[in-house]
Structure 1
Amino acid sequence: MNTVSAPSVSRWPAEVLPLFERAITCEYASLTRSGAPITWPLTPYYDPGATTVDVSTGLTYPAKAERARRDPRVALLFSDPTGSGLSDTPVVLVRGLATVRDADLQANTDLYVRRVLEKLPQTVTGQPWFLVRRQQWYWGRLWIEITPLKILWWPAGQLDAEPLRWDAPADVTAPPSDPAPEGAAPPPWAAPPADWRPGADRAMRLGHPVLTVRDAEGWPLPLRSLGVERVDDGFVVRTGALGTAAAGRACLTFHDHPEVFTGQENAAFVGTATPAAGGVHVRVDRALADFSLPTGRFSQLRRFVSSGRKLTPRLAHEAARRHQPVPVVRRPE
C-alpha cells in the first residue's frame, strides 16, 4: 500500500476532495452497542477548507448519531458517484472519529435547510414553502462531523489494485460530542420485515452492495463489492483484495438513486460473514427496516405523510430530552 505524507489535517489528498464536495451519497458505517456494524447511504457535506466531512440524521430518528456518540469510530465510503457530475472517480474510504452536534437544534436545522437547498434543490422544487415548514419531523436535524484519521483511495475505482493511503498526523483527534440527551430514547419508529427474503430479491435489482465488517482494530470497514450472488441463506459477494478475509458480524447494504436525486431505494441486511470460494458468504439473520424514498412526486408525498404521522409525536419528545424548543423550518435569507 502506497502512503502519502500529510503535514496537516487540512491537506487531504486532492484526488478525494471533489467527491467530498459533490457526491450525492456515501455509505456511513457505525457500530451498535454490541459492536455490530450498520451501514446506510447518507448525503455528505463538505465545505472547502473544513477539517470534517459531515452527515446528518433526523432529530426524530437519532439512532445513527447515538451510535456515534457511544462509539465515535465511524467510516465513510464514497463508492457511487451517481449524480455528482464527476467521471473516472476514485473509490474513497475514510476512517475517522465522529462528533455529534445537537446542542443547538435550531442552528442544526437552519444549516440543514441551507445545505440541502444548495446541494439538492430538486428535493423541494415545486413544494409550497408552507408545506416544507410543516415537515419539521424531517428537517429537524442532528449533525455528525467526521474527522478523518485515515483515507484510502483506489484511483479510477480499481478495487482489485492496492489503494493509496493518507494518514493524519499523530496528534489529530476529534472534539467531544455534545452531551447525551436525558431520558430514554424512543423505540424504533419503523418495524423491520418479518422475513428478509422478499427484500433480498428486490435488493438484487439495486446493483452491487456494500459489505461492512470490522477490521483487525475493531473499526467499521465498508467495502464496495465487485459482484453479488443470491444464495439460500443470504448472499455471496465478491470483494477487492482488502475484503477477501472479511469475517464476523456484517451488514450488507444495497442502494440506488437516479442521476438527479429525487428519491432513493435502500435495502440492508445484517448477519455473519465468512470467507468462501468466490468471495465472502454473508448468512443473513434479518433485514433492517426499509427507509426507501420513492421517486414519483405523488408516491413521495404519500410516503412523507405516512412517515410524518409516525414521527411528528417524537419531535417534541426528542427536543425536550435536550431541553430545547422544537426547531422551526426557516427559509434561508
Structure 2
Amino acid sequence: MKAPAVSVLPSAVLPIVERAITCEYASLTRSGAPITWPLTPYHDSGTATIDVSTGLTYPAKAERARHDPRVALLFSDPTGSGLSDAPVVLVQGLATVRDADLQANTDLYLRRVLQKMPQAVTGQPWVVVRRQRWYWSRVWIEVTPLRILWWPGGRLDLEPLRWEAPADVTAPPSDPAPEGPASPGWAVPPADWRPRADAAMRLGNPVLTVRDEDGWPLPVRSVGVELVDDGFVARTGPFGAAAGGRACLTFHEHPEVFTGQQNAVFVGTAGAVPGGVHFRVERALADFSLPPGRFTQLRKFLSSGRALTPRLAHEAARRHQPIPTVRKPG
C-alpha cells in the first residue's frame, strides 16, 4: 500500500525537518557499504516524504538507492535553521528515485532552492544561472519514513524517542532505471587520505555511519573525535557505542547563511573500543566542497562545469529525454 498523502511525521521533528539546510543522507553500495553525504532536505506540508536530490551528472546517490532503497537521513546540524534547542533526528526509510521527467525535476529543484536558500543565486546574472545546466538538472530521491528516532535538545547521552510507521506503509517503486552504461567517475579522490584528515579535524564532530542489525544504514552524530595513525576514534554516546563493520565517516560544515560548505568523507571499517568507535580509514572520497567567496565559487563552478557538462547529454540520453532547460520560476 502506498504511504498516505498526508504528513506522517511526529510533530516534534517537523520544525528541523522542514527548516534544516543540510541533513546527512546515507545509502548503501552494491557491496553493502554505507556512504553518507550532506544534502539539503525538503519536506512539503501535507506530504508523506522527505526529499533530497542529486545532480543528473553525478547520480550515484540515486543509483545506490534504486538498487537498495534502504536509506537514512540524519538531522544533526541545525546551523542555518533558525532553531534553538533543536532535536537530533534519525529517519530510516525507503527511497523512491524520480528521474522520468527531468524537466519537471529541474523546475522543482530551482523553485525549492530559491524558496529555501535564495542566496544561492543572489548576484548571479540569470544568463549565468541558465548556463549551469550541469548543476540544476536533477534526480529526486523521495524518502518514505518507516522509523524515526529523535533526541530532544540534541541530548545524545539520553535514550531517543521513537516512532514507527504503520505496518502497511511502504514506498512507491522508483522510476525505471536508465539504459546503458553510466558515466564514469569524474572527480579524482586523493591518493593519500591523511592531508584530508588534517583538514577534516577543523570541521567539527563527524557523523559515523555503519549498518544496524537489520542491515539498514545507521548514521550517528559523534560527540568528539581524535585523529590517530590509521584513522579516527569517535565518541558516539550510548546509541552508537557498539558500531562495527563497513563504515563511513563524514565531516561537514556550512555557515548560518548558506553561501558554501566544506566536507570530507572517508570510508573504512569501524570497531568498538572503550569510550568510542575506532574508524580505520581505507580511503578518502573526492572533495565536493564549495568554498566561501563569490570568486572562489565561480572558479570552482567553472572547473566542475567543464568536467560535468559532457556527461549531461549522456545521462539525459540514457533516460530518453532532452537536456533540461533552466527556467526562471514565475
* 2:265 counterpart letter in structure 1: A
| Alignment-derived partner of residue 276 in structure 2 | 279
Alpha-carbon distance in structure 2 between the residues aligned to 1:64 and 1:295: 25
Alpha-carbon distance in structure 1 between the residues aligned to 2:7 and 2:327: 32
Q: Give secondary structure in 2 for the equivalent of 1:254.
A: strand
Are the equivalent residues in 1 in contact too, given 2:71–2:92 (CA < 8 A)? yes
| Alignment-derived partner of residue 321 in structure 2 | 324
Alpha-carbon distance in structure 1 between the residues aligned to 2:164 and 2:275: 32
Deviation for aligned residue 1:171: 0.1
Are the equivalent residues in 2 in contact too, given 1:102–1:108 (CA < 8 A)? yes
Alpha-carbon distance in structure 1 between the residues aligned to 2:286 and 2:306: 17
> Is residue 179 of structure 1 aligned with residue 173 of structure 2?
no
Deviations 1:163-200 (A, max 9, x none): 00000000000000000000011111101100000000
| Alignment-derived partner of residue 31 in structure 2 | 34
Q: Give secondary structure in 2 for the equivalent of 1:332.
A: coil
Are the equivalent residues in 2 in contact too, given 1:37–1:214 (CA < 8 A)? yes
| Alignment-derived partner of residue 198 in structure 1 | 195
* Alignment TM-score, normalising by the size of structure 2: 0.98
Deviations 1:90-129 (A, max 9, x none): 0000000000000000000000000000000001000000
Deviation for aligned residue 1:8: 9.8
Please show how residues 292-303 of structure 1 align to structure 2 within 5 Å: 292-303=289-300
Alpha-carbon distance in structure 1 between the residues aligned to 2:8 and 2:323: 38
| Alignment-derived partner of residue 82 in structure 1 | 79
Deviations 1:194-234 (A, max 9, x none): 00000000000000000000000000000000100000000
* 1:160 counterpart letter in structure 2: D
Stretch deviating more after TM superposition (207-216 or 273-282): 273-282
| Alignment-derived partner of residue 93 in structure 1 | 90
Are the equivalent residues in 1 in contact too, given 2:266–2:284 (CA < 8 A)? yes
| Alignment-derived partner of residue 145 in structure 2 | 148
Deviation for aligned residue 1:303: 0.1
What percent of counterpart residues are identical? 80
| Alignment-derived partner of residue 310 in structure 1 | 307
* Alignment TM-score, normalising by the size of structure 1: 0.97
Select 1:210's aligned residue among 207, 210, 227: 207
Deviations 1:238-280 (A, max 9, x none): 0021111000000000000001000000000000000012210
> Is residue 25 of structure 1 aligned with residue 19 of structure 2?
no
Alpha-carbon distance in structure 2 between the residues aligned to 1:314 and 1:264: 24
Alpha-carbon distance in structure 2 between the residues aligned to 1:8 and 1:99: 15
Q: Give secondary structure in 2 for the equivalent of 1:223.
A: strand
Are the equivalent residues in 1 in contact too, given 2:8–2:48 (CA < 8 A)? no
Are the equivalent residues in 2 in contact too, given 1:9–1:172 (CA < 8 A)? no
Are the equivalent residues in 1 in contact too, given 2:237–2:276 (CA < 8 A)? no
Are the equivalent residues in 1 in contact too, given 2:151–2:158 (CA < 8 A)? yes
| Alignment-derived partner of residue 12 in structure 2 | 15
* 2:182 counterpart letter in structure 1: A
Stretch deviating more after TM superposition (8-17 or 277-286): 8-17
* Aligned residue pair count: 327
- In structure 2, runs of 5+ residues without a counterpart are none
Select 1:107's aligned residue among 104, 109, 130: 104
| Alignment-derived partner of residue 134 in structure 1 | 131
Deviations 1:108-152 (A, max 9, x none): 000000000000000100000000000000000000000000000
| Alignment-derived partner of residue 262 in structure 1 | 259
Deviation for aligned residue 1:11: 3.4
| Alignment-derived partner of residue 224 in structure 1 | 221
Deviation for aligned residue 1:47: 0.5
Q: Which runs of 4+ in 1 moved over 2 A?
A: 7-11
Select 1:54's aligned residue among 43, 51, 54: 51
Are the equivalent residues in 1 in contact too, given 2:6–2:47 (CA < 8 A)? no
- In structure 1, runs of 5+ residues without a counterpart are 1-6
Are the equivalent residues in 2 in contact too, given 1:9–1:168 (CA < 8 A)? no
Deviations 1:272-304 (A, max 9, x none): 000012210000000000000011000000000
Q: Give secondary structure in 2 for the equivalent of 1:35.
A: coil
RMSD: 1.0
Q: Give secondary structure in 2 for the equivalent of 1:205.
A: coil
Alpha-carbon distance in structure 1 between the residues aligned to 2:50 and 2:282: 32
Deviation for aligned residue 1:13: 1.1
* 1:264 counterpart letter in structure 2: Q
Deviation for aligned residue 1:9: 6.8
Are the equivalent residues in 2 in contact too, given 1:109–1:140 (CA < 8 A)? yes
